[in-house]
Structure 1
Amino acid sequence: MTDRSEMFDRLKGLIAPFNKKGVEISEVTTFAGDLEWDSLTVMDFVAEVEDDFDIVISMNLQAEIENVGHLVDAVKKLTD
Structure 2
Amino acid sequence: PNPTAAELCSQMEGQLQSWRTYTPSMSKPGLNLLVGEWAARNGIDMLALARDRDRVDAIASAQCPEVRSEALEALQIPTLASALVGF
Do both share a fold (TM > 0.5)?
no
TM-score normalised to structure 2 length: 0.34
Instruction: Name the one with the larger helix percent.
Output: 2
TM-score with structure 1 setting the length: 0.36
